[in-house]
Homo-oligomer: A and B are copies of this chain.
Amino acid sequence: MTITIALDAMGGDHGPRVTVSAALAFLEAQPEARIALVGQPEAIQAELRRMTAGPDERLRIVPATEVVRMDEPPAQALRSKRDSSMRVALNLVREGHADACVSAGNTGALMAVAHFVLKTLPGIDRPAIMTAVPTLNGHVHLLDLGANVECTAEHLRQFAVMGTIVAAAVDGKDRPTVGLLNVGVEDIKGNEVVKAAAQLLARSGLNYAGYVEGDGIYTGTTDVIVCDGFVGNIALKTSEGLARMIRAFLKEEFGRNALTRMRGLIARPVLKAFARRVDPKRYNGATLVGLNGVVVKSHGSADAIALRNALEVALREVRYHIPDRIRREMEPSPQRGLA
């Protein structure tokens, strides 16, 4: 099956400079895939020339005159930029010309425009941002990472359903376990929303494993962890910040003098193997789950390697028919219909 991904060529901190080279590398690795590069044709063409890319029938350019700025308010992007690369890419998905949209653009705007263009799946009140993060024994699917700064217990239940479907499909798990992020594991812990969500999850039919604390994210105690978007965003960005600090400290210590530099040289192969395991590029690509279509958000600062990973995430979500699986799961069962 041929899969077409609409790539917002103008999105991210680097625009076509990164998106075009990521697209070319991705197409080389994925013979079944096609890419629609959406954006300003001159900018894209110039980059293709720079990369000395020959004509490729699997790569086409879809023009869009506008660009959503990284700091543009989502409402403004939605109202006044009807011909933005982001919006045109999403339109391609809605109209069936593409199977997925990938963008490294402004997260809030992508969320708002994707929600408006594609709509949520029946039974899903709010789309959520989901990603896999590495753990001691593999990875965990974490959501919501910032789409919804205020959530009800029912929203958290829906996130749990969607996370379960993705973990089941992508990881081939039979009944993925779901944890609820909280400030403690005892029943009395947490705020009112979390406590109510725990009750909903306990009788949801999902494989609910109870509360998980912040450090439990990285122990890999469950396959899925749900939380509201405020908390999820803070947990993820705090992790990014800590990882950067640790990297800076390691570099500083190994760079202190000639002797430590020599020690660093000898340790380098091991440090590189270590760095690969926690490389954020390998984990780039967060899904906007719950929409009528596959939408993947790349980190704005992603380089071509990281962005290519986001394209792979989109390809996988299309192959596993994630939106269809969620739709089927959320369909009223016959019993419910009769009740």
Contacts and interface: CB of A to CB of B under 8 A. Distances in A.
Interface of A: 71, 73, 108, 134-136, 146, 149-150, 181, 183-184, 186, 188-192, 213-219, 227, 229-231, 233-246, 248-250, 253-254, 256, 260, 263-264, 266-267, 269-271, 273-274, 277-278
A150 B233 CA distance: 18
A135 to B, nearest CB: 7
A26 to B, nearest CB: 28
Given A215-B240, A231-B230, A242-B218, A150 B270 contact: no
B245 A274 contact: no
B214 A150 contact: no
Question: Taking the full assembly, how many copies of this chain does it contain?
Answer: 2
A277 B239 CA distance: 17
Contacts of A273: 253, 256
A213 B239 contact: no
A234 B231 contact: yes
B260 A270 contact: yes
A68 to B, nearest CB: 14
Contact of A237 (B213, B250, B270, B271): B213
A166 to B, nearest CB: 21
A245 B136 contact: yes
A100 to B, nearest CB: 25
Given A230-B191, A235-B238, A245-B218, A250 B274 contact: yes
